[in-house]
Amino acid sequence: MMHTSNFPPPSTTGPPTAGARALTLGVEEEFLLVDRASRTPVGRAAPVIAGVAPLLGDRVEPEFYTAQVEVHTDPVNNTADLWRQLAWMRREVARAAADQGCLLIAAGTSVVPPTQPLTVASGRRYREMALRYPAVLGARDQAVCGCHIHVGVDSKAQALALANRMSPWLPVLQAIGANSPFDRGADSGHASRRSVAHSRWPTVGPAPILDESEYEGLATSLVRSGLLLDRKMIYWYARPSEHVPTLEIRVADTNADLDTVVLLAALVRALAATFLTEPTDNPPVLPVGLGRIYAAHRLAAAHGLAGDGIDPHTGTRLPAWTLVDRLRDRTEAALAGSGDLPLVDRLLLHMRAAGDGASRQRAAYRRRGRLSDVVDDLAIRTALYGGPAVALEPPPTAPDPLPMSA
């Protein structure tokens, strides 16, 4: 989440309204670039970034593969500004991608397989990661894209305390953000295949329960031992950021529908605000135990909102939507305090009717049995449609200028 000054003026239409000032928010989104004709991932990030950098500045940067682009917002105080920044950046990056014959795709994995191995980006750190972790990468044809949500904190100690208490609820957020059922030409059987693929990297998973001194000792040990290249590779689902004063939540796939991103951000902030106002021993940390939290994440990756999850207090299996409702109720006071409660209720109503990202991808495929239709639907939603202002409207119908079977 960088601070630059060339942001567009406030819009009077489109994004949601927001109430009282609350904890600051920021979002990082990773996108795929796919060829306009073949819909396969293509390594054109460098010219795309060069084309949009005069507008976005350091808000846009390379990701691990040259077929990926990352954007990150400035810190904001309300969901209206968050929506506005994300919509603006998506629109501009999509335009730059179009200039390079690409579509910008917000999905956790590549729907259509690449025609040749993907290329690691040219930065020194990425090259060193590729050399040090060849077993993790395997065949270089699987790029994964996540959505990371930042909440402003006063200190690393506060970030760790929040991470400890939010941990049982993160599988619910993961289920809401599931958007990677197709992976390189096939239905993976998961709602979030990205979650499974990303777990090959060291440290990916629920964060251990740590205070600040324990965190510092463990982080130093992980790097000194050679398990991690640096502290940026601490990939826990909730972690204190090493470069900005935030708690970072890393459980969601990148989602084409901007509605989903704003919904997740509002809920993450509300969870943090809820726990900041409660005694640290109410509820106790990890009441269901770490093993059940791992199981809850596996269920979220497998089914998204279409199956069961695990209640964060009792450990019992319940429908995922029941857990979403409990999360909404758990954070109701904080949502009301930030002005986000009407927005969240509206977005949840819409998602209950339309399904999560994974179910929408599968619905796009069922219409004609073409993976190209899935890619095109994702491209439309990523660049042209989305946001709470139109959350209850059907997506626009766009022509398929290049129909193909995949």
Of 311, 327, 346, residue with least CA distance to 79: 346
Q: What's the rounded Cα separation, in Å, for the pair 381 and 191?
A: 18
Rg (CA), the chain: 20
pLDDT per residue as tens, the chain (406 positions): 444 334 443 333 344 544 334 799 999 999 999 999 999 999 999 999 999 999 999 999 999 999 999 999 999 999 999 999 999 999 999 999 999 999 999 999 999 999 988 999 988 999 999 999 887 876 567 899 999 999 999 999 999 999 999 999 999 999 999 999 999 999 999 999 999 999 999 999 999 999 999 999 999 999 999 999 999 999 999 999 888 899 999 999 999 999 999 999 999 999 999 999 987 765 545 666 788 999 999 999 999 999 999 998 888 999 999 999 999 999 999 999 999 999 999 999 999 999 999 999 999 999 999 999 999 999 999 986 443 333 333 333 333 333 233 3
pLDDT attached to residue 123: 85
CA distances for 10 relative to 15, 71, 82, 83, 182, angstroms: 10, 19, 11, 11, 37
Among residues 294, 118, 106, the alpha carbon closest in space to that of 196 is found at 294
Q: Which amino acid is at 181?
A: P
Residue 203 included in any domain: yes
Question: Token digits for 25?
Answer: 């928010």
Q: Is residue 253 a part of any domain in this protein? A: yes
Q: Are 265 and 78 in contact (CB under 8 A)?
A: no
Does a structural domain hold residue 385?
Answer: yes
- So what's the pLDDT on residue 313? 83
Residue pair 337/22 in contact (Cβ under 8 Å)? The answer is yes
pLDDT at residue 315 in the model:
85
Write out the H or E segment, with its range, that includes residue 327.
Answer: helix 320-330
How much is the pLDDT for 89? 95
According to DSSP, the β-strands at 186-187 and 317-319 are unpaired
pLDDT for the residue 398: 32
H helix or E strand, kind and range, residue 13: none
Give the phi and the psi of residue 29 in degrees, each rounded to 5: -125, 135
Please state, in angstroms and as integers, the Cα–Cα distance from residue 325 to each residue in 192, 305, 318, 329, 345, following that order: 21, 12, 11, 6, 10
Q: Evaluate whether residue 263 is within a structural domain.
A: yes
The burial class, CB within 10 Å (0-12 / 13-18 / 19+), for 199 is middle
Q: Which two tokens stand for residue 108?
A: 């956790």
Quote the pLDDT of residue 281: 60
- What CATH number is associated with residue 346? 3.30.590.20
pLDDT at 140: 60
Helix (H) or strand (E) holding 261: helix 258-276
Q: Is residue 7 part of a domain?
A: no
- Reduced DSSP (H G I as helix, E B as strand, rest coil) percent helix, strand, coil of the chain, to 5: 45, 15, 40
Number of structural domains found in the chain:
1
* Residue that has been written with the tokens 């005694």 in this structure: 279
How does pLDDT run across 206-252, given as a tens digit for each residue? 999 999 999 999 999 999 999 999 999 999 999 998 888 999 999 99
What pLDDT shows up at residue 138?
65
Strands 68-72 and 60-62: antiparallel
Domain boundaries, position 198:
25-390
DSSP state of 397: P
Nearest Cα to Cα of residue 190 among 236, 149, 147, 144:
144
The packing angle between helices 79-99 and 371-383, to 10°, is 130
Q: What does the alpha-carbon distance between residue 9 and residue 54 come to, in Å, rounded to a whole number?
A: 16
What pLDDT score does 340 carry?
96
Is 398 part of any domain?
no
Does the residue 383 lie in any domain? yes
Write down the pTM of the prediction.
0.89
The answer to whether position 399 is within a domain reads: no
